[in-house]
Structure 1
Amino acid sequence: MHIDFYQTLIVLIFYIGRVVPIPITDIDSKEGILVRIAASGSTVILKCMSNDNAHNFQYWHLVNKGLIIGPANNYDSAKFRYGILSGNLTIMAVSKQEEGLYECVSRAVKGEDMNIRVVKMLVQDNWDDLYQHDYNINLIRILIALITLVLIAMGAWFVYRIWKDRYRFPSYLQNEDDDDDDDESTEELFSQPSTSKSSVKNIVVPSTSTSIVKEPQFDEVDIDTDFKSILSPSSEK
């Protein structure tokens, strides 16, 4: 919506400039010549500085082409118009062809004296050319380019930090979590099938009893030493 508004405003200014005279700043040169700078395609009014109470306007003289603009002279009336009383010259849709020195010639009311004032008109082909070579505009462009590069660098750094925090470190954390899960699963394999206290109490661990044979010691054996009683029965036989 804002773009359409600005585009419409630019178009209106362009068409108004082609019809309505645009006031242009006058610049006095060292030679005392009045310099006017006009945009190509605009309508410009050159003021006749020689016309005053003691002089009457006679004609305009375009020095570069030797063109006379005034009564009883052939000229492009669609391009040039002048005021009979004021002597001001209006140039429609100026271009490089109309650029040059304009002499406004006025004649004294009493006598044959001539009063001549010169106006120099410079025409810019395109305002884009002016902006392209303007120092301030180029400086602004450089600043905008630098600011853009800084913003791009900051954005890239920010994206890198996000990628580093969310996609690099969580991978290591995920591996650690997986290891913890494996350890827990291993512990579950060796745990009791039931975790209730009652079941643990009711579990009877079978005891493996081993019979230990106690070998008799020689000291504990009762040995009979009565040899006569032993030998007498054998002798009777």
Structure 2
Amino acid sequence: MFNLGGGVPEIKQLTVTEVPAGSTAVLNCHSNDVDHNFMFWLFNGTDVIGPGNVYNEQKYKYEVLSGKLHIHDVTARESGYYHCISKKLNGFGYTVGQVDMIVTGSTFTPIDAVKIIAIVVSLIVILGCAVLYYKMRKDWKRYEGRGIIPVDEVEDEEGDGDEIYNRTTTPTQVQPRQVSQPAPGPSRNLSSEQLLYGIDNQGLDTDFNSVFENIQIKSPQASLI
């Protein structure tokens, strides 16, 4: 099992201890008595818990004088054989107290619940960031390649005869074409003043005095008839 030197160690006592998961187990060192001094604990023949050794101090605590071992928040990983090693006062020989610890019940602890919640929240945050990045990337591709047209290019297009419309404005409404009304013609019932001086329309004015004189000249005289 293990070799401490100076002969085969004496197995003083073997006990079996059952503890519920998540509780604190207390293991007594049965090899420590008036003839022996506690040295260290050995877990599953490999892990040393004692002075001058590196171990999980938050998980394991031991009493120097009695050798009593406290195991906090036990889980199935802590199940196994624990050996309490004590040395005789005369310095020759060792005794061993063996304890078989069995962890019962569920190993799910409040710490495990906190860990699960932290993992779930982390996954939600990562998923949200991925969705946001995908949406931003999609919007960027939609507007990728579009830019402001330089002024000189717009002038070149205007020079080619293409009409450019500003889409942000509406075309000016075309005013209905005013149909010119014909000037009113002369009244059929002409007054004597209109006959003497004409009407407002210059194109229709007639010198009626000259017409009358011509009619009198061209008319045959009464004596010649």
More helix by share: 1
Shorter chain as normaliser: what TM range? 0.3 to 0.5
Task: Compute the TM-score of the two structures, normalised by the length of structure 2.
Answer: 0.41
- Larger relative contact order (CA 8 Å, sep ≥ 6): 2
Task: Compute the TM-score of the two structures, normalised by the length of structure 1.
Answer: 0.39
